[in-house]
Amino acid sequence: MVARLVETAWFWMGECRGSVFHDHVIPALHGGLLVPTQQQRIRCGKNAFHFFAKSSSRGTKRVQTLQTMCKEDCDNNVPFRYDIFEPFHIKSAFEKSVHLGELIFGDRFPDTGIRPSASATSPLTDMFRKAGLLNAPTRLHPDLYSPA
């Protein structure tokens, strides 16, 4: 989960350097503080995010399957079996020469169809290795990411 969070955050920071930052963040800065008006929040949500500030949204079949499973787990008052993760939303991150795909998908990475990272290691991978967590469960459904 940490690797997914880091890859997604890095991806979105790159996205925000472009139009999201100029169109939505800068206008909401007042005296060095981020203080968007309600209208600015709605405009940003509609233009920059997949699900926020929308009356309806469409997701992939994979996300629908995982949401159904999570709802069942919630209804049965049991821990979630799998995390909801859609790699399509950060597809361009996996198209870069260096990415965390191997760390995110673990031993199922070869099944994803994602090109391996040009770097065999990263500071995050080293941290996981030192903590003995390289082969820890990913909490990703084993059959839904072939291909990613």
As a residue count, the chain comes to: 148
Domain count, the chain: 1
Domain assignment present for 80? yes
Domain assignment present for 148? no
List, for residues 33-59, the tens digit of each pLDDT value: 999 999 998 888 888 777 777 777 778
pTM: 0.74
Domain assignment present for 141? no
Mean pLDDT of the chain: 88
Confidence (pLDDT) at 101: 92
Domain assignment present for 51? yes
C-beta atoms surrounding 60 within 10 Å: 13
Host domain of residue 31: 2-130
Domain assignment present for 147? no
- Strand 33-34, strand 29-30: pairing: antiparallel
Q: Exposed, middle or buried by CB within 10 Å (0-12, 13-18, 19+), for 148? A: buried
Confidence (pLDDT) at 76: 97
List, for residues 50-100, the tens digit of each pLDDT value: 777 777 777 889 999 999 999 999 999 999 999 999 998 889 999 999 999
Domain assignment present for 137? no
Contacts of 110 (CB under 8 A, 6+ apart): none
C-beta atoms surrounding 62 within 10 Å: 17
